[in-house]
Amino acid sequence: MGSNIYGEKRECMQRASTGEKNWVEHGRVLNDEIVDEVLREQGHGVLSIALDGDVYARPMSFGYDGQSLYFQLAAPPGSPKSKFAECGVTAELVISEFESVDDWHSVVVRGELNGVPNGEEGAAFGAIADNAVFPQNAIDTGECQGFELVRLSIESAEGRVGPSATVTEQRRLGGPQASD
């Protein structure tokens, strides 16, 4: 990272330490349409679960069909990643993009993680093919003898964008108005 980013971070921290209001403006809330667009375009994030007193977070490629997120898990039995195949656990997926301390966006999706029911695999594979960054069936699975399809049923999806979002994000949001 260049020294410019460190300078921007230092400036932000100085503004915060002086009590200056809106030092990062906490970003602007993304509307549902933009959250949907980010989910369709990004195709990669960090999936996290808490299970039996342990926390697991892994970068994952995903598919999105407008209602649910789909993941293709290829992990050796007993590995930390195999824990994501547990049924009925609450999970969060974080998708973010960072250009600078003021130019960023993020989306957090929360819901229940379950296996894809028999007969619905085609829909899951279709969603993965449409927007996953790196479908796992395209790689050698190594020790894995197969894979599992899991679905995150979306209970909530929220997003924010930084105060100096790129021109594209400003246009999509309808201007630089802040909302909190």
The alpha-helical segments, DSSP class H, found in the chain are 3-17, 32-42, 121-131, 167-173
How confident is the model at residue 144, as a pLDDT? 47
How confident is the model at residue 76, as a pLDDT? 67
Domain count within the chain = 1
How confident is the model at residue 120, as a pLDDT? 92
How confident is the model at residue 5, as a pLDDT? 52
We report the CATH number of the domain holding residue 118 as 2.30.110.10
The answer to whether residue 9 is domain-embedded is: no
How confident is the model at residue 171, as a pLDDT? 46
pLDDT of the chain, 180 residues: tens digit per residue: 444 555 555 565 555 445 444 544 567 888 899 899 999 988 999 999 888 888 888 899 999 999 999 998 876 666 666 666 667 889 999 999 888 887 888 999 999 999 898 999 999 999 998 888 865 544 444 554 567 889 999 999 999 888 776 535 544 555 444 443
Structural domain boundaries, residue 129: 25-159
User: Among positive and negative, which fits the CA dihedral 97, 99, 101, 103?
Assistant: negative
The answer to whether residue 141 is domain-embedded is: yes
The answer to whether residue 165 is domain-embedded is: no
Report the C-alpha gap between 93 and 150 in whole angstroms: 13
Distances (CA, A) of 72 to 104, 111, 131: 28, 17, 13
Beta bridge partners of 179: none
How confident is the model at residue 112, as a pLDDT? 93
How confident is the model at residue 166, as a pLDDT? 59
The answer to whether residue 174 is domain-embedded is: no
Instruction: Record the tokens describing residue 142, joined without a space.
Output: 């190594």
The answer to whether residue 172 is domain-embedded is: no
Instruction: Record the tokens describing residue 126, joined without a space.
Output: 């279709």
How confident is the model at residue 48, as a pLDDT? 92
The answer to whether residue 10 is domain-embedded is: no
How confident is the model at residue 11, as a pLDDT? 60
Instruction: Record the tokens describing residue 74, joined without a space.
Output: 């290829």
Task: Determine the angle formed by the axes of helices 32-42 and 121-131, rounding to 10 degrees.
Answer: 90
User: Among positive and negative, which fits the CA dihedral 22, 161, 157, 60?
Assistant: negative
The answer to whether residue 18 is domain-embedded is: no
The answer to whether residue 113 is domain-embedded is: yes
- Per residue in 99-132, pLDDT (tens digit) is 888 788 899 999 999 989 899 999 999 999 888 8
Q: Which residues contact 41 (CB under 8 A, 6 or more apart)?
A: 131
Report the C-alpha gap between 171 and 125 in whole angstroms: 33
User: Among positive and negative, which fits the CA dihedral 26, 27, 29, 30?
Assistant: negative
